[in-house]
């Protein structure tokens, strides 16, 4: 019995494509056989997203790319950043499923334990963005902590072993000191790490990129999308750039 064929456009809302190959490899390994993935970047915007300031720079371009995807006939869109830049606006604009990285990841985490922690890169400057997202999704009461290592997103590829060890130390503290039952990695670029940490920590560790992929596939298979009562189409009006 064949699966449901679907085309998903993955919008990486940064102006560099240095993560695309890693995302493509991870998605090729974990996607359903009949799922077709296309990965694109925004033409204008930040190289990486670590703060709310970066998100603002990325949001409009991500929205325009998402609208283009719907016109091209894609079945769903993934806004591939843990900050979910422009996600609510994209949900309003589109009539196909729109999924970010943070929203599905922390909701999945909330079903796997009583408390979860977000562990990520970007240093303490990135904490505000994570806290705002968790609060906006109504799960602040289930957040044990946000722990961040002092490694910038653009430096993730420099030393994989050092990165994994730094994340492990913070995740261990989140479990042992903060009371977390589940760890959510707070960046879509932290690929191939969740399984390593999960084995060492003995608690569920969620890769947000993979969580978004499987959640999107589920929505398409079930014929579900964001409610237009919650996310109504924007009024027709003149808008200038």
Q: How many domains does the chain have?
A: 2
Is residue 160 included in any domain, yes or no?
Answer: yes
Q: Residue 43 and residue 141: Cα distance in Å, rounded?
A: 37
Give me the pLDDT at residue 4, please.
87
Chain centroid, CA 59 distance in Å: 14
pLDDT at 1 > cutoff 80: no
- Helix spans in the chain (H): 20-30, 52-71, 87-93, 102-112, 127-136, 160-176, 194-201, 208-222
Give me the pLDDT at residue 156, please.
93
**What domain range is 77 assigned to?**
6-101+210-222
pLDDT at 2 > cutoff 80: no
For residues 40 and 23, is the Cβ–Cβ distance under 8 A?
A: no
CATH number of residue 128's parent domain: 3.40.50.12500
CATH number of residue 32's parent domain: 3.40.50.1860
- Residue 145, class by beta-carbon neighbours within 10 Å (0-12 exposed, 13-18 middle, 19+ buried)? middle
Does residue 215 sit in the same domain as residue 137? no
Which helix or strand (DSSP H or E) is residue 230 part of? none
Is residue 229 included in any domain, yes or no?
Answer: no
For residues 152 and 123, is the Cβ–Cβ distance under 8 A?
A: yes
pLDDT at 155 > cutoff 60: yes
Does residue 169 sit in the same domain as residue 91? no
Average pLDDT over residues 92-110: 99
For residues 171 and 191, is the Cβ–Cβ distance under 8 A?
A: no
Q: Residue 104 and residue 226: Cα distance in Å, rounded?
A: 13
Average pLDDT over residues 156-161: 93
Which tokens is 154 given?
Answer: 């653009």
Does residue 41 sit in the same domain as residue 58? yes
Does residue 24 sit in the same domain as residue 107? no
pLDDT in tens, 31-85: 999 999 999 999 999 999 999 999 999 999 999 999 999 999 999 999 999 999 9
pLDDT at 186 > cutoff 50: yes
Residue 32: CB atoms within 10 Å: 14
Give me the pLDDT at residue 3, please.
78
């Amino acid at each position: 019995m064949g699966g449901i064929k679907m085309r998903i456009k993955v919008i990486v809302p940064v102006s560099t494509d240095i993560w695309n190959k890693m995302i493509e490899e991870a998605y090729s390994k974990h996607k359903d056989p009949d799922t077709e993935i296309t990965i694109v970047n925004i033409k204008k915007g930040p190289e990486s997203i670590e703060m709310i300031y970066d998100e603002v720079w990325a949001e409009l371009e991500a929205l325009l790319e998402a609208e283009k995807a719907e016109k091209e006939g894609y079945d769903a869109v993934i806004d591939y950043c843990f900050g979910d830049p422009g996600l609510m606006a994209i949900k309003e604009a589109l009539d196909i499923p729109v999924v970010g990285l943070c929203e599905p990841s922390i909701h999945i985490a909330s079903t796997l334990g009583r408390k979860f922690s977000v562990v990520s890169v970007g240093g303490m400057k990135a904490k505000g963005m994570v806290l705002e997202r968790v609060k906006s999704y109504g799960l602040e009461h289930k957040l044990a902590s946000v722990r961040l290592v002092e490694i910038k997103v653009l430096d993730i590829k420099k030393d994989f072993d050092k990165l994994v060890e730094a994340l492990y130390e913070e995740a261990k503290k989140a479990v042992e000191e903060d009371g977390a039952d589940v760890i959510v990695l707070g960046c879509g670029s932290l690929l191939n790490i969740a399984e390593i940490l999960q084995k060492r920590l003995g608690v569920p560790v969620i890769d947000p990129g993979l969580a978004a992929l499987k959640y999107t596939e589920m929505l398409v298979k079930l014929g579900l999308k964001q409610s237009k009562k919650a996310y109504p189409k924007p009024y027709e009006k003149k808008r200038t750039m």
